[in-house]
Amino acid sequence: MTDPRVERTRQALFSALDELLAEMPFGEISVSALAKRANVGRQTLYRHFDSMGAMVDARMQFGMAEQIELARSSQGDEADWMQQVALVACERVAAQPHISRAILSGEAGQDALASMRAQLVALRSDAPNDPLEHVPADLQGFVASFYAGAVAATLLHWIEAGCTPDAETMSGVIARLTANVPTEWGGITRSTS
């Protein structure tokens, strides 16, 4: 069980980060400003997180864990499943566009971006019908990364457009764009050099 004091401090840090991201780009936020806004000392921040990037990553991990759980418990065909999963993602992005922008743009650091990509790949692998079953095993990681990158770029563009159209419409766009992985993989030449 998590200590309530630890949880309160983490929430204060997350709220302070949200406020500061609404005012300035991630790269301009100092640890001192974040600690001051959260009403904690710098050492307290470092007791909870190695860096501000790690803090953003922890925040994203929590939200993605909920989304992965939803994906694993959802039923239905792949199109319905993708629509449900994309809707949760779009709603989360719309609720926290500043955090999402920092992650998706790479401002929060490569670890947060890599973590986001890994989470998107994990979500894709939980689809009702394995979307990668026809992809040669040695290419599956590349194909999964392609889809994760496409979703991340689409979400970043959506944030920059002010999260319009609405989350439901955007989730439909993402579901349609990512629903089908080609089943034909013949003709791909692999070099062994």
Q: What is the pLDDT of residue 76?
A: 63
Per-residue pLDDT of 17-26, as tens digits, reads 989 988 998 8
Contacts of 29 (CB under 8 A, 6+ apart): 17, 20, 21, 52
pTM of the model: 0.80
Cα–chain-centroid distance for residue 183? 27
Mean pLDDT of the chain: 84
The mean pLDDT value for 169-186 works out to 82
- Quote the percentage of the chain above a pLDDT of 70: 88
Sign of CA dihedral 138, 109, 152, 81: positive
Q: What is the pLDDT of residue 8?
A: 93
Per-residue pLDDT of 148-160, as tens digits, reads 889 999 999 999 9
Q: At 16, is the pLDDT very low, low, confident or very high (cuts 50, 70, 90)? A: very high
Q: How far is CA 50 from CA 39, 61, 147, in A?
A: 18, 15, 30
Q: What is the pLDDT of residue 22?
A: 87
Per-residue pLDDT of 47-83, as tens digits, reads 999 988 888 888 877 767 777 777 677 666 666 778 8
> Is a pLDDT exceeding 60 seen at residue 190?
no
> Is a pLDDT exceeding 60 seen at residue 96?
yes
CB 155 within 8 A of CB 179: no
What one-character DSSP code corresponds to residue 77? -
